[in-house]
Every structure is written in C-alpha cells, then in structure tokens.
C-alpha cells in the first residue's frame, strides 16, 4: 500500500489536517501522522485531537510518496523542530511530493525548499516566501515540480486533487 505522511504540531488548522487525512485514505493511501514525539496527542486550533503515529527519527522516507503540511499555527511551531524540518527537507530533496497549505510554507521556508520555486500560501506568509527566494502567486493551487501549495481551506478540494494527480491517483 502507498503511504503518505502528515506532519503535525499543536495549533494545526483542523480542517487542513482532517480533509487531506481522509481524502488520501479514500484514495487508497496509508496515512501516518508525524509529530515531534511518537504517540503524543496534538490539538488543533478548534480542539480536534490527533495522535502522532511516529516521530521524525522513526520515518524511513523510502516507504512514502508524499509529505502533507497543514496550516494554522502549527507550521510556526514545527519550524523550530529540527527533526520535522529535516524530514521535510529530505523528502523534498528525494523528490517526494510535498504539499503545503495556508501557513504550511513557513515550514518549507525553514527547510530551505522554496528558493527558486513558484508557490502560494496564506497572504500573511507571502512576504516570508518572497524573502526566502520563492515566487509568490495568489492562486488557488500552484504545482511546481514536486511542490503543491494552496492558500486556505476553500482551496482544499483543488489542492488535494492536484496532489493526488501528481501521485498518479
């Protein structure tokens, strides 16, 4: 079975984690949730809890096809977690699909994977993207190689559809 990762920290935007979690399961993927610590429960901005199935050091990226980065306040917290930053950087460098929405590009910036790439995000992060060498565009979804980005929850359907298309589903 094909597998994808969703990275998590407290303060994730609930719908930006849950929507892709179930959408990817529906498409036949096994979905693992990776937080700073394995077996820890993380809480979304609106109170939805989710338990991590693994920590970054437990992950063998050879087993995965994609890394999903939900938004909310979590990316700001994730970018100070070296294990999560390294996981995203390594996944990107290996050519895995990396899909981020809303504030998710904050983690991508820390992983230094936006330089020279075209992407979108929540408008409050646009200047950060530009300062990190990315080309910000205000579009519902942007696909640049193995990178798929969107702006906010209303973009979830097209973001998931384009990510799944890149994964051959």
| Rounded distance between C-alpha atoms, residue 76 and residue 42, angstroms | 15
| Rounded distance between C-alpha atoms, residue 24 and residue 136, angstroms | 27
- Say which residues have a Cβ less than 8 Å from residue 57's Cβ, sequence separation at least 6: 83
Question: Which residue in the list 81, 103, 117, 151 is annotated as catalytic?
Answer: 103
| Rounded distance between C-alpha atoms, residue 24 and residue 142, angstroms | 19
Active site residue 103: yes
Q: What is the DSSP string of 22-79?
A: HHHHHTT-EEEEE-SSTT-EEE-TTS-EEE-SB-GGG--GGG-SEEEE--BTHHHHHT
Residues annotated as part of the active site: 103
């Amino acid at each position: 079975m094909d597998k994808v990762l969703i990275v998590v920290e407290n303060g994730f935007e609930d719908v930006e984690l849950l929507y892709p979690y179930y959408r990817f399961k529906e498409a036949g993927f096994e979905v693992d949730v990776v937080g700073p610590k394995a077996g820890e429960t993380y809480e979304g901005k609106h109170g939805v809890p989710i338990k991590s199935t693994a920590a970054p050091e437990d992950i063998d990226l050879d087993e995965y096809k994609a890394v999903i980065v939900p938004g909310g306040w979590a990316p700001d917290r994730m970018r100070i977690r070296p294990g999560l930053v390294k996981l995203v950087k390594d996944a990107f460098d290996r050519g895995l699909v990396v899909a981020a929405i809303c504030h998710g590009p904050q983690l991508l910036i820390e992983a230094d994977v936006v330089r020279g790439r075209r992407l979108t995000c929540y408008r409050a992060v646009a200047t950060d993207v530009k300062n990190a060498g990315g080309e910000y565009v205000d579009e519902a979804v942007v696909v640049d190689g193995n990178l798929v980005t969107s702006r906010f929850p209303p973009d979830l359907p097209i973001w998931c559809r384009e990510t799944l298309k890149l994964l051959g589903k």
